[in-house]
Amino acid sequence: MRQEQGGSRSYKEAVMEKLIISGGTALRGTVHISGSKNACLPILAATVLTPDKCTIRNVPDLADVRAMCAILKWIGVQVKHDRKAGVIETKAENVVGVAPYDLVRKMRASVCLLGPLLARLRSCKVSMPGGCIIGNRPIDQHIKGLMRLGAEIVMEAGYVNARCTELVGTDVFMGGRFGSTVTGTANVLMAAALAKGVTIIECAACEPEIEDLAIFMNKMGAHIKGAGSPTMEVEGVPELHGADHTIIPDRIEAGTFMVAAALTGGDIEIKGACATHLGAVRDKLEESGVNVQRTNGTIRVSGGATRRPFDVTTMPYPGFPTDMQAQMCALMSLTPGISVVTEKIYPNRFMHLSEMARLGADVALESNTAIIKGVNRLSGAPVMASDLRASAGLVLAGLAAEGETDVKRIYHLDRGYEHIDQKLRNLGASVERVEEEDNG
């Protein structure tokens, strides 16, 4: 029944496309950074916490955002999405508490609906998201956190079935084997906002995307203190109201263009990014000899004449982001000397390395550590994107490689980078988007 009414039929699998990149051009000019995907997705989930109208601005036009809108529509939320203006209006007057597998498997962040649906309806059934190419991505901490607030949770037939008579504030520790969890913190925060009494979230994710979610929720009438730090205090309120919010800029998109400037020996002005969210990326680029200047809301990056090798260890914010790891591998592959990457968030997130090796990169993998020996040149070849950030790393490598690189399966890229081919062309890159002849 829902299926017929809802938006699931409007969510289409992306057409298989590839990018053809003729590398070797130093990128120059100005790029404007879009709204943050990973801030937008939980904020859209949070709109379910109120029956009132919410307006979300600076929404990036991305496949993941459209997937989230499809799920919201399916559960009964009225959604108006003006893709050109980057504005989404929602009104969640009547919602059902079921998020089915077919929609959730397309976009993991839909697990963020668990907390708000439980808080609003006292009962919900959300599909487990399933496997992910970047590694094992359990949701045990989400479940633990919601159970601490009083939810009874049963996993059955691939679904998380959650119910409660009421949610009651308490202390909740959100640290797992790999540190804090971003979407887990979001889920507990959203449930705690409508719980009875005070919740203290310890080992909370400090990512700017969580801070943005808390700012939005406080505009809705929530009482959240400490967002952006490891300890958050949430005083529950009986209900939340509508709000108008502008999403923060995407720090990973900005970081990707910073690396593009360094790798191609170019000079790019990055506008609209938040430099304070990019400290770890800036620090590593500077360590390698890349020039990074910050002036009046602009980050200007120009490739250093000579670069030095450097080491990166991924960590929760404010450490070096795992979502910038593949892009750094591309830079290291053309940086003289031996650079080392240690992946501490997703130990297996190295699918891009074997594809970079096809372009001539000298890479070796030992457990969760990549050893990258800089080469003098990469040479273009067909490569296959395996996930969003791996795709970004391959595009960057292709921009610096001699000759033509075809990056196949770029639907991954379109999940998280708004109009990336157009933005790269504006900087002088030769990038063409074409349909893949062979979808195999």
Catalytic residues, which ones? 132
Choices 162-170, 212-220, 268-276, 321-329; region in contact with ligand EPU by CB under 6 A: 321-329
Closest separation between CB of residue 38 and ligand EPU, Å? 3
Query: Does 176 sit near ligand EPU (CB under 6 A)?
Result: yes
Query: Does 228 sit near ligand EPU (CB under 6 A)?
Result: no
Edge-first strand order for the sheet with 382-384 is 382-384, 404-408, 17-22, 430-435
Which residue reads 């980057």 in tokens? 86
The type of residue at 136 is: N
**By C-beta, is 206 or 401 nearer to ligand EPU?**
206
CA neighbours closer than 13 Å in the CB half-sphere of residue 172: 36
Query: Does 177 sit near ligand EPU (CB under 6 A)?
Result: yes
- Segment 188-227, which members bind ligand EPU (CB under 6 A)? 209
> What DSSP element (H or E) covers 116?
helix 114-121
Among 21, 41, 72, 118, binds ligand EPU (CB under 6 A): 41
**By C-beta, is 26 or 390 nearer to ligand EPU?**
390
Among 109, 126, 188, 292, binds ligand EPU (CB under 6 A): 109
Q: How far is CA 290 from CA 4, 20, 29, 302, in A?
A: 54, 27, 17, 6
Contact 212, 43 (CB under 8 A): yes
Cβ-count burial of 156 within 10 angstroms (0-12 exposed, 13-18 middle, 19+ buried)?
exposed
Which residue reads 């995307």 in tokens? 209
Q: How far is CA 30 from CA 219, 270, 293, 301, 440, in A?
A: 33, 6, 14, 11, 37
What does the per-residue mask of binding to ligand EPU show for 337-366, with x meaning CB under 6 A?
--------xx--------------------
**By C-beta, is 79 or 206 nearer to ligand EPU?**
206
Closest separation between CB of residue 355 and ligand EPU, Å? 17
Query: Does 266 sit near ligand EPU (CB under 6 A)?
Result: no
Among 106, 282, 389, 412, binds ligand EPU (CB under 6 A): 389
**By C-beta, is 18 or 251 nearer to ligand EPU?**
251
The type of residue at 169 is: G
The Cα–Cα gap between 339 and 167 comes to 49
> What DSSP element (H or E) covers 331?
helix 325-333
**By C-beta, is 176 or 221 nearer to ligand EPU?**
176
Query: Does 323 sit near ligand EPU (CB under 6 A)?
Result: yes
CA neighbours closer than 13 Å in the CB half-sphere of residue 375: 20
The Cα–Cα gap between 402 and 390 comes to 20
What does the per-residue mask of binding to ligand EPU show for 392-421, with x meaning CB under 6 A?
------------------------x-----
Choices 49-57, 147-155, 260-268, 316-324; region in contact with ligand EPU by CB under 6 A: 316-324
- Segment 136-175, which members bind ligand EPU (CB under 6 A)? 136-142
Backbone angles phi, psi at 193, to 5 degrees: -60, -30
Binding site for ligand EPU (CB under 6 A): 38, 41, 109, 136-142, 176-178, 181-184, 209, 321-323, 345-346, 388-389, 416
